[in-house]
Amino acid sequence: MQVEKLVCKAANRYRLSHPSDPPSSRTHRSRKDRMVSPSSSPATSPALPHSSSPTPPPPPSQGPGLYNPTAPQHKMAGIPSVAAASKYTAPVHIDVGGAIYTSSLETLTRFPESRLARLFNGTIPIVLDSLKQHYFIDRDGKMFRHVLNYMRHGRLILPDDFTDFELLLEEARFFEITGLVGQLEEHRRNKQQQLTNNNNDSLDGHSSSDLRQYNSNNNNDPDALFLSRCKNTLLNGIKREEEQLGYHVVAVHISPDLGERVMVSGERSVVEDLFPEVAQAIMEARSAMVWNHDPKFIIKFPLNGYCKLNSMQAVQRLLNSSFRVLASNGGGVEGQQFSEYIFYRKQAHL
């Protein structure tokens, strides 16, 4: 009975919503409604065409202020265009001896035969700092800058004041970048040749065979050649061409003992000529004196112990007598500091 009542109510609602239907149609529909169960009514069945389930509205047309992802996009002036990412162009962070560099696999693997390329193409295992996501290489971080620039440009680019050729050459050999090794060796040969050409005058005292022997002993190292040039030009800071003339050398030792203590070392005749105030004391001194053991030289003669000269007056007298400072030194601890100065003068050419 309840089912029939529900069916009648549904039929009445339908007649009220369709008043224009003819009676025969209403009767036919009423009989049909009686035969249909409630579970398959048009309001609940998803299979019938008049289902009440919502359907998505059609997409709006592209208009001002509306975004349609299917419509073609146009570039906007002044805004960077993002490149398509790939594993070769994505940034790679590298920690080389504590120095952080950022590059790409495309750059790092530019020369496939190199050790650096094999580290980043999976051939050779490489350490990964999992905390920072940096690849770690235990090499010279400062020199890696030039290695990376070579990988980018394919040629050697160095500043004019660069001097660490040996360090960079060692890094290039470690990473097995043959092109960089060849350019560095050529650059070193050119530098050596330039030094040789510019300093022929400084090497007049040596034959070409001596120079070739020196170069072979030092593996054609331009830095060693430069040091050789300095040695050949200067002997203890004095020009070699003046070596045959001879020199007078005087050492002055100054310490703060008892206010100030000035001691002089040098050839007896030279010291007596410079400081005539002490000439008599030097001649009459006993051989047992500490400074009087050598017959030709006096060593650490206490100058201001025999005359009233301070350190500045002693230095001034040496400079006024054509002496020049060759070297100086100092040291000691608090209360026991000392300073030493070496003066030299060319002997008069007879």
Residue 39: is its pLDDT beyond 50?
no
Higher pLDDT, 332 or 113: 113
Instruction: Quote the distance between the C-alpha of residue 156 and its chain's center.
Output: 16
Residue 34 pLDDT: 46
For the chain, the average pLDDT equals 75
Kindly state whether residue 107 falls inside one of the protein's structural domains.
yes
Who wins on pLDDT, 53 or 17?
A: 17
Instruction: Kindly report, residue by residue over 272-330, the tens digit of the pLDDT.
Output: 889 888 888 877 775 557 677 777 888 888 888 888 888 899 999 999 999 999 998 88
Same domain flag for 203 and 291: no
Closest CA to 192 of 228, 158, 143: 228
DSSP 275-320: -GGGHHHHHH--TTSTT--SSSEEEEEEHHHHS---HHHHHHHHHH
Short-list 175, 177, 99, CA closest to 140: 99
Q: Which helix (H) or strand (E) segment is 54 a member of?
A: none
Kindly state whether residue 160 falls inside one of the protein's structural domains. no
CB-based contacts of 238, cutoff 8 Å, min separation 6: 247, 326, 344
Task: Indicate if the pLDDT at residue 345 is higher than 80.
Answer: yes
135-144, 184-193, 207-216, 341-350: which has the highest mean pLDDT?
135-144
Task: Give me the DSSP letters along 58-71.
Answer: PPPPP-TT---TTS
> Is pLDDT at 250 greater than 90 in this prediction?
yes
Strands 261-267 and 238-239, bridge-based pairing = unpaired
Give the pLDDT of residue 47.
41
Q: The tokens of 167 are what?
A: 């360090």
Same domain, 104 and 146: yes
Of 184, 172, 167, which is closest to residue 147 (Cα–Cα)? 172
User: Considering only CA atoms, which of 317, 245, 257, 309 is closest in space to residue 278?
Assistant: 309
Residue 158 lies in a domain: no
Max CA-CA distance within the chain?
163
231/48: higher pLDDT: 231
User: Do 339 and 251 reside in the same domain of the chain?
Assistant: yes
In the block, tokens 């109510």 appear at 9
With 90 as the cut, is the pLDDT of residue 165 above it? no
Sheet strand arrangement including 297-302: 297-302, 261-267, 247-255, 338-346, 324-331
Read off the pLDDT of residues 18-31 as tens digits, 9 standing for 90 and up. Answer: 555 555 444 444 44
Q: What Rg do the C-alpha atoms of the chain give, in angstroms?
A: 49
Do the domain assignments include residue 41?
no
> Residues 269, 325: one domain?
yes
Number of folded domains that form the chain: 4
Query: Quick count: other Cβ atoms within 10 Å of Cβ 222?
Result: 22
Task: Kindly state whether residue 190 falls inside one of the protein's structural domains.
Answer: no
CA distance 138 to 102: 16
Q: Would you call 22 helix, strand, or coil by DSSP?
A: coil
pLDDT at 210 over 60: no
Q: What does the alpha-carbon distance between residue 107 and residue 111 come to, in Å, rounded to a whole number?
A: 9
Inside any domain, residue 268: yes
- Among the candidates 213, 235, 257, a domain finishes at 235
Specify whether 280 is located in the same domain as 216: no
Pair (250, 227) in one structural domain: no
The tokens for 279 are 């000439």
Q: In terms of residue numbers, what domain contains 12? A: 2-36
Residue 136: pLDDT over 90: yes
pLDDT of residue 44 exceeding 50, the answer is no
> Which pLDDT band, with edges at 50, 70 and 90, does 216 fall under?
low
CATH number for 96: 3.30.710.10
Domain end marker among 211, 235, 259: 235
206 and 277 in a single domain? The answer is no
Same domain, 217 and 250: no
Domain contains 69: no
Q: How far is the C-alpha of 61 from the C-alpha of 65, rounded, in Å?
A: 11
d(CA 96, CA 135): 8
For the chain, the first-to-last Cα distance in angstroms comes to 154
Q: What confidence score (pLDDT) does residue 256 get?
A: 79
Mean pLDDT, residues 42-52 taken together: 42
* Residue that wins the pLDDT comparison between 82 and 238: 82
Q: Which of 116, 138, 153 is the last residue of a domain?
A: 153
Question: Considering the entire predicted model, what is its pTM?
Answer: 0.39
Burial (Cβ within 10 Å: 0-12, 13-18, ≥19) of residue 179: middle
164 in a structural domain? no
Q: Both 231 and 281 in a single domain?
A: no
More confident residue, 48 or 332: 332
Whether the pLDDT of residue 120 is over 90: the answer is: yes
Q: What's the mean pLDDT in 228-236?
A: 53
* Distance separating alpha carbons of residues 17 and 139, to the nearest angstrom: 89
